[in-house]
Amino acid sequence: MFDALITGTGVHSPAERITNDELVVAFNDYVARYNAANADAIAAGTRTALQPSSAEFIEKASGIRQRFVADKDGVLDPARMFPRIAARADDALSLQAEYAVAAARLALTQAGRDGSEVDAVLCACSAHQRMYPAMAVEIQHALGAGGHAFDMNVACSSATFALEYATNAVRAGSARCVLIVNPELTSPHLEWRDRDCHFIFGDVATAILVERDTGQTQGWQVLGTKLATQFSNNIRNNFGFLNRSEDGDPAARDKLFRQEGRKVFKEVVPIAAAHIEGHLASLDLQAASVRRFWLHQANIGMNQLIGKRLLGRDATMDESPVILDRYANTASAGSIIAFHEHRGDLASGDVGVICSFGAGYSVGSAVLRKR
């Protein structure tokens, strides 16, 4: 058995971003047009008038202030309300692979590695651009990596679940250098016309390099990983390959992200807190001895409650940093962005916990010690 180290991470964001104010102006324009176009039906009671959104509500309910997106114009066009993304030829690099490769190159540079030294690639995210060939194999090819590559999806916990598989492969010796990429293109499968969720997500890609410990002086030793799932319909997307055969409406609301946000909030907080506590106990550690929690970034209130359950008091921003104010919810990438941006100040020997939670339900954690 070998030890596994995280030796590099990378974050790639699209250039375009949308503030809450910009988002709400476009949404409310759409609502005004919809209500005017359906005035008779609304008056007759056969249609319900849409309600406007509010930037104040968004920030208060979620902590989100802005999000990065692959295409701003399409999302903010009240006659369209979803990104405009040009199709690419089969011999061109796919958009999602492009995001993944950009993040991967940053992680490789940070670790001082070249793509040719990677011997496994996991493309782990909430939605893959196509069924096959696997996105991971295209990314492996673009980076000049060897070994094998495959796609996996556990929604918001995709990155932490991949981290367990990468760690186990390195520990067992079946791979020496595993690249995990999380190209989260959330904007194409978000319903930007639904005020309950139109503000939640942003696009980004993250990458993590996990290597065999050969005595490197830099890096984060993976002390342990822990995964758990529990079925729930409260976060769901019915888009899939059976849609055509089902003869339903391929553009129906259930073919995009939808959730019972309040139920998710209430049910997932205790699950995540108990999961982290149990994981730490299995390693003879306690929350009080953890220097930093890099939590999933869905809602600032959820993270505050999880911190309070773990520590018995409010966690400080230093102990549980927030990145969702700038990135919004980026599905599996959120806790990895937090780890990427908020680890440089920790000292050798410090322990931190990455933890994701979301659809499934799924929870994944990794306990790390700084080299």
Residues marked active site are found at 156
3-class SS letters over the chain? CCCEEEEEEEEECCCEEEEHHHHHHHHHHHHHHHHHHCHHHHHHCCCCCCCCCCHHHHHHHHCCCEEEECCHHHHHCCCCCCCCCCCCCCCCCCHHHHHHHHHHHHHHHHHCCCHHHCCEEEEECCCCCCCCCCHHHHHHHHHCCCCEEEEECCHHHHHHHHHHHHHHHHHHCCCCEEEEEEEECCHHHCCCCCCCCCCCECCEEEEEEEEECCCCCCCEEEEEEEEEECCCCCEECCCCCCCCCCCCCCCCHHHCCEECHHHHHHHHHHHHHHHHHHHHHHCCCCHHHCCEEEECCCCHHHHHHHHHHHHCCCCCCCCCCCCHHHHCECHHHHHHHHHHHCCCCCCCCCEEEEEEEECCCEEEEEEEEEC
| CB closer to ligand CO8 out of 67 and 292 | 67
- Give the pairing of strands 120-124 and 177-184: parallel
| CB closer to ligand CO8 out of 219 and 321 | 321
Least distance from ligand CO8 to the Cβ atom of residue 29, Å: 14
Say what the alpha-carbon torsion angle 28, 33, 34, 36 is, to the nearest 10 degrees. Answer: 120
- Binder of ligand CO8 out of 201, 220, 294, 339 (CB under 6 A): 201
57 contributes a contact to ligand CO8 by CB under 6 A: yes
| CB closer to ligand CO8 out of 201 and 220 | 201
- CA-based diameter of the chain, in Å? 74
Least distance from ligand CO8 to the Cβ atom of residue 294, Å: 16
Using the rule CB under 6 A, give the single segment among 35-43, 71-79, 256-264, 315-323 that binds ligand CO8: 256-264
72 contributes a contact to ligand CO8 by CB under 6 A: no
- Binder of ligand CO8 out of 81, 155, 205, 207 (CB under 6 A): 155
Contact map string, positions 259 to 288, toward ligand CO8, x by CB under 6 A: x-xx-xx-----------------------
67 contributes a contact to ligand CO8 by CB under 6 A: no
Least distance from ligand CO8 to the Cβ atom of residue 16, Å: 17
Class of residue 58 by CB neighbours under 10 A (exposed 0-12, middle 13-18, buried 19+): buried
255 contributes a contact to ligand CO8 by CB under 6 A: no
75 contributes a contact to ligand CO8 by CB under 6 A: no
Helix axes 334-341, 158-172, angle to 10 degrees: 70
| CB closer to ligand CO8 out of 5 and 235 | 235
Contact map string, positions 156 to 195, toward ligand CO8, x by CB under 6 A: x-----------------------------x--xx----x
243 contributes a contact to ligand CO8 by CB under 6 A: no
Long-range contacts at 131-134 (CB < 8 A, ≥ 24 apart): 131/241
Least distance from ligand CO8 to the Cβ atom of residue 51, Å: 7
| CB closer to ligand CO8 out of 9 and 299 | 299
- For residue 249, the tally of other CB atoms under 10 A from its CB is 10
291 contributes a contact to ligand CO8 by CB under 6 A: no
- Binder of ligand CO8 out of 182, 225, 329, 335 (CB under 6 A): 329
| CB closer to ligand CO8 out of 140 and 259 | 259
| CB closer to ligand CO8 out of 170 and 235 | 235
354 contributes a contact to ligand CO8 by CB under 6 A: no
Task: Tell me the residue nearest to ligand CO8 as measured from the CB.
Answer: 358
335 contributes a contact to ligand CO8 by CB under 6 A: no
If binding means CB under 6 A, how many residues of this protein chain bind ligand CO8? 29
Binding-site ranges for ligand CO8 (CB under 6 A): 53-54, 57-58, 61-62, 126, 155-156, 186, 189-190, 195-196, 199, 201, 235, 257, 259, 261-262, 264-265, 298-299, 329, 331, 358-359
